[in-house]
Amino acid sequence: MTGAGKDGSLHDGLAMALASGGSALVGMLGWILAARVLDTAELGLATAFVSAFLLIAGATELNVGIGLLRWLPGAGGSSRRLLVTALGAVAALSGTVAALYLLLPGTAVIIRAVTGTAPSATANAAGVGLFVLTAVLYALFQQQDFVLVGLGRPWWAPTRTLLFAVGRLGIVLAAGASLTTEIVVLSWVAPLLACVALVGLQAVVLTRRRRRAPGRLPALREAAGFLGPTYLGQVATSVLFNQVPLLVVLRFGPEVGGRFFLVWQAVTVVDVLATYFAASLAAGVAREPGRADELSRAVRRRLLVLVGPALVLGALLAEPVLALFGPAYTAEAWVLRILLLGLGLRLLVVHRLAEHQAHGRGLRFARLATATTVGVVAVVALVPAGPADPLVTFAVGFVGVQVLAAGAVLLRRRRDPAPLPRPTQEPEETTTVTEPLAAAAPVLVTGRPRTGARVAVCIPVHQGGRHLAATLRSVLDQDVAGLEVVVLDNASTDETPAVLAGFDDARLTVWRHDETVDMVTNFRRVVALSHAPLVKILPADDLLEPGCLASAVAAFDADPGLALVVGRKHLVDEHGRVLARGRFLRGLAGVHSRPAVVRRVVRSGANPIGADAAATFRRDAYDAVGGYPDDAGLADLDLWLRLLEHGRFLGQTATVARFRVSGQAASAATHRRDYRAQRAFTADIARRSRPVVRRRDVVAGRVHAPLARRRRELLYAVAGVSSRLRSV
């Protein structure tokens, strides 16, 4: 079972839910057994040790687990390097923070769980070492579910959890009435060590099988841009479930806090199960970006089916479940029921957080997670400490926070336009983005790939020898470092091969198809043959203005959140005579979000961004959306809008390219076909983008569309006249 394919997200989600939920349930059972054997003081020492290393591990995981879900499926031969880098960083940070944590005042009580009340210096040193080791092991243990799912082995995750559960409970049960705090600690450390070693060995074997597979690693800036904000959001979630009980103890005393701790643990079990199930969406989207919307809806539906009955069952069995801890806890049954109601509303938040992680929206993930945590902490701080049970008041406040959070999620979802439909591509076409080209692949004519390039200009050409030399000179004259120029000749029979043979430049690589392929395939393959993180597609008859590439690279460097940078264009005829200056981008100058760009496209009734020559985009965004669509007629505009699902748009006011308008007469039938295609495309965008696109935007587009058509027809007519006059 690899987790790929139509039901891969279900397998991944169930595997992660069983693994995480099983681990949480085993933890609950372990504490029940310990509470029945140890006295209160001994149990307190054991919980101090365990709570401390859980806190350290949770605060130092850097959220690399979700990163691995996103990047491992496409890492190929770089999988082992990715794992070593990510897990090495987690291990180093958790060990360092654990050691520094023990320097804080009052933390000596943690070590007493394994050294006793009168420890020697040697025992203290051993206790410190054991605590640091346990924190590192648990930090790695937390990532292993993500590693196994990312490597295509989701059902190994619950198997690993089962081994951990058997080992931990076996040690506790074997101790029986002789259970001590030292044995409680050992029941964690020994199974952790065994599981980390076993899964580490499995990862070595699985990555060895991938060593020859093609793949890519995220750039450092991409990784940091995703992990930084999501890590802050993850810390907020960790505070929500690990520190709220401590705040209750500080406000209302240890007796109330003790009762609340066990009730809160029951809530945590269900929340962890839901969170891990939804987190599998990241792996599904990484493997099949074209099905992102479908996978998201499936995960949301399955999340409700999986967790909903658990919430109902928990509410019905609240009293008997709490009675397992002792009769003193059954009085809080209604507190548990109210909290479970709030948790039902929180499922919408959990799913939205998973969507943000799957699509790399780190800042939005952090904002939502942090806002929820701040709301719950505020409730703890504001609940009055009076004669009435404060836990009931807190539970009602918790429900109120979840109502607000769920409402905000639904409102934002309505405002966000739905992603445009991605084309369904045949397997041999999708491989051109990240895998070697298959049958009928182009052959290398001259040059060699430039793997360290900064920006790539990709030139697909077919029978374009007339203007190709001028196009290449406009590119090679660009003053920009790290330039890569890739030309893919689509089996041209004119002077194209001779023109290319006349250029001798180390930055230029020329490939050729032996047989002609369709235009979209040629475009996809020329991008796949390049290597730079920034890409420009340049048709073989268009020109770049001086400074075009330098300005685009500078814009991307200044704003890591950009996915697409576009400048204005001069429109020229076949002889280079300017027909119109500085066209396109009306109303789109500056930085814009995708909704703003979509609205402008609908209002224009045409393509206000323009064709390829003036656009530069990020390769990772291009790969994420699956490349060029199948429909060649509107391929450029369709691609631009899908790229903006992964970053912002920058419209430059400078003119950066020259778009050549063909002088050959276009038939009225051709103009009608293009007009109908544009209208259908715009109508589809408007329908899928409500309520961001409003009724007045649609009306404006219907008014502007025929005007844009007439301008286009006039421009082609002028180009034809200009060409004929120049020829005469």
3-class secondary structure, 543: strand
Q: Is the pLDDT of residue 50 over 50?
A: yes
Select the more confidently predicted residue: 489 or 112.
489
State how far the Cα of 144 lies from the Cα of 151, in Å rounded to an integer.
10
- Which pLDDT score, from 0 to 100, does residue 724 have? 47
Domains of the chain: 1-218 (no CATH), 229-415 (no CATH), 441-660 (3.90.550.10)
Q: For residue 608, which phi and psi values (nearest 5 degrees)?
A: -75, -10
The whole-model pTM stands at: 0.47
* Span 383-427, pLDDT tens digits: 887 656 788 888 898 899 999 998 988 887 665 544 444 333 333
Highest mean pLDDT among 155-164, 252-261, 293-302: 293-302
Q: Is the pLDDT of residue 156 over 90?
A: no
Residue 144 pLDDT grade (very low, low, confident, very high; cuts 50, 70, 90): confident
* Span 211-262, pLDDT tens digits: 766 666 777 766 776 677 667 777 777 777 767 776 776 677 767 766 777 7
Count of beta carbons in the 10 Å neighbourhood of residue 576: 13
Select the more confidently predicted residue: 420 or 553.
553
Strand 590-592 versus strand 648-660 pairing type: antiparallel
* Span 84-128, pLDDT tens digits: 998 999 999 999 999 998 888 877 777 887 877 666 788 888 889
3-class secondary structure, 590: strand
Report whether the peptide linkage leading into residue 309 is cis, meaning its omega lies within 30 degrees of zero. Answer: no
- Which pLDDT score, from 0 to 100, does residue 468 have? 93
Q: For residue 505, which phi and psi values (nearest 5 degrees)?
A: -145, 130
Q: What percent of the chain has pLDDT over 90?
A: 18
- Which pLDDT score, from 0 to 100, does residue 20 have? 56
* Span 361-387, pLDDT tens digits: 777 888 888 888 889 888 888 888 765
* Span 318-331, pLDDT tens digits: 888 777 766 777 88
Residue 387 DSSP label:
S
Q: What percent of the chain has pLDDT over 70?
A: 78
Select the more confidently predicted residue: 202 or 30.
202
Q: How many residues does the chain have?
A: 728
Q: Is the pLDDT of residue 595 over 50?
A: yes
| Tokens of residue 109, six digits | 């009580």
- Which pLDDT score, from 0 to 100, does residue 321 have? 78
State how far the Cα of 297 lies from the Cα of 138, in Å rounded to an integer.
32
* Span 6-36, pLDDT tens digits: 444 445 545 555 555 556 666 666 766 776 7
Count of beta carbons in the 10 Å neighbourhood of residue 283: 30
